[in-house]
Structures are given as structure tokens and as C-alpha cells.
Amino acid sequence: MAIVATRALTKRFGAGENAVDGVDIESRDGEFLVLLGPSGSGKTTVLRMIAGLEDPTSGEVWIGGRMVNAMTPRERGIAMVFQSYALYPHLTVYDNIAFPLKAQGVPRSEHEAKIGWAAEKFGIVRLLERKPRELSGGERQRVALARALVREPQVFLLDEPLSNLDAKLRASAREELQKFQKELGTTAVYVTHDQVEAMALGDRVVIMDHGRVRQVGTPAEVYDDPADTFVATFLGSPPMNLLERDGILLGFRPEHVRAGSAAEGAVGFRFRCELTEYLGSEQLAYGTLQDAAWAGREVVWRFPSWDPAPAEGSVQDVYVERARLRYFDSSTGLRRPAP
């Protein structure tokens, strides 16, 4: 196991803006750390610099207490799993898993035991004589993970390894990946743009935008207590409702809206329903507020599918408990105390 850290890590391509701009992150030993952000946020570039596949413009990468900037990927004690899996099509599964052992100079007499151990971990022993073209997407993913595991690395680096799977297979693969990482206790740094993946897998989540870290925290921390309006609106589908008044943005999640008049400890609104959506386990109501202070502001309300939906065009009282409200500075977007 090892701690992965970056210090003022920066990457500039050509004369443009920094793709990664002074990133400071530090994993915990044995942690599953997820880098989450939209396309172009710099998360994959950070991962590639940790791996040694990109050279930083400035800053440092530390793995297991060593500054590794001058080390090759092989010397860093990492194993990387790519989005494409990067399997060799002309080799069998056995030989694909064996490839890093050959590269490391592991004696052939040890290959069979190590490959069998890794294949057993991922339930692919029966596939060892097949070629990648004969495998499903989920099976290829397991082979790629077994190939990474056989190196017994200090750190696993994973770049959107589930993105090529269909929705049902992604859910089961996510569960298997999390179980595997916890069993091994090896530090993992995982890149994704999928917030469901990030929230399900991460011990902590690093949220990035435009090459910078916006917030680091547990899934509950970044969702319930966003550091700024970017995090507040990037996480959640639909995102957090934001209402502006007197230089302050008032934020609350759609699921925290409740029908009825506000009692003590809550803030009430008049909600006009414009559209409803039935989504199976839940419903969404899209509408505008009718209060003088918030007139015309758009709000989304999430509630269980078994509750009666408001009629489109109807106006009713709703409320949000004060404990659920979050406040942001409207000019900087940063979180601020309640007024």
C-alpha cells in the first residue's frame, strides 16, 4: 500500500491555459480516491502525470513517500487500467496477463501461479485460452484488472474503466471493483465523469473543474455541503436549486422540498407547477415560485412516485427546512455562513 500525493502539480500544453493548474491532492493509505469532473477538467491529465505517462510542467508527484518525477512508469510501482482496456488482440488472456510479468523479468516458473491467482480473483480462469475478440466487454474489463493485479502494484490507477459497459453491467462491475479493492487494500486513484460511479465507489471524491480542485471530501460531504456553486450544480440530477437575493444565493436540493405550509425552522414558498415527470421510483415537478421575493425563479421538486403529483398549472405551498439550506456568495460562488 502507498500514499499518492501531488504538490502544486501543473501541466500546460503549448501556449494555452494550464490544463492542470496547481493541483494538491493526497490519498490515504489503501483509499479508493476518485477524481471527478466534466470533460476538460484535467482529471485524466493528473492521472497520467501520476502514472509517468505525462511530464508535469511544474510540481511534484509522490508515491509511497518517494518523489517520482524522474522515474519511469515501471519504476513507480503502479498499474494502470485504461478505458479501452488496451489488451493485445493477438495474445490469449493468459498471455495478456503474463505480459507485465515478462516485462518485469519475473521467472517463468512463477508465471502460472501468479496468473492463476489473479484470474481466480476475477473469475476468469475459464477464459485463459481465449483471445480478447471472443470476450464480452465485462470479461475484457476483468482481464485488464487481472493484468494490473498480477504486478502486485503499490497503487492502481484507473481511467474510466467501466465507461464501455452497458448500464446493467456497469452496476455489477462497480460492485465487483469496489469489493476487489477493499479485499486487497491497495490504494486506488480512479478517474470518471460519472457522478453515480464516483459517489458509489469513492472513499473520498476530488471534484475538478478547469484544471483546479474545487472540493475534496467524502461523497456525503461534497453532496450535502458543497464548497461552491460549481460543486452544488455539478453534483445531483437535477442539480441544487439556487435562488439569488441581495448578493446571496440560497441553495437546496430538489429532494428537500416538501408539500405544505412552513412551520418553525423552515422557509416556505409558493410553487406553481409547470411540468411533471414520472421516473418510476420518483417524480419530478418543474415550476416557478410565486412569492414576491422570488417571483418567476425556477425550482425543481423531487418526491416519491407514490405521492400524488401536483396538477400542472396548480399553485401550492411548499417548504424547505432551514437545516437543509446552503448559502453562497453570488459574486464568487463560494460557500458562506447563513446570514
Distances (CA, A) of 184 to 31, 101, 245: 11, 19, 50
Q: Is the pLDDT of residue 70 over 80?
A: yes
Residue 308, Cβ density class (10 Å: 0-12 exposed, 13-18 middle, ≥19 buried): exposed
Q: What is the pLDDT of residues 154-205, one digit of tens each?
A: 899 999 888 777 777 778 778 878 888 888 888 999 999 999 999 999 999 9
pLDDT value at residue 136: 86
Could you tell me the CATH superfamily of domain 4-229?
Answer: P-loop containing nucleotide triphosphate hydrolases (3.40.50.300)
- For residue 63, the number of C-alpha atoms closer than 13 Å in the C-beta half-sphere is 27
User: Which pLDDT score is estimated for 171?
Assistant: 80
Rg (CA), the chain: 24
Start-end of CATH 2.40.50.140 domains in the chain: 240-336
CATH 3.40.50.300 segments of the chain:
4-229
| Residue 181 burial (C-beta neighbours within 10 Å; 0-12, 13-18, 19+) | buried
Closest to 269 (Cα-Cα) out of 246, 250, 247, 248: 250
pLDDT digit string (tens) for 197-233?
A: 999 999 999 999 999 999 999 999 999 999 999 999 9
pLDDT of residue 86: 81
Contact 204, 34 (CB under 8 A): yes
Q: What is the DSSP letter of 328?
A: E
Q: What is the CATH number of domain 240-336?
A: 2.40.50.140
- Residue 158: closest CA among 197, 105, 212: 197
Amino acid at the residue 258:
R
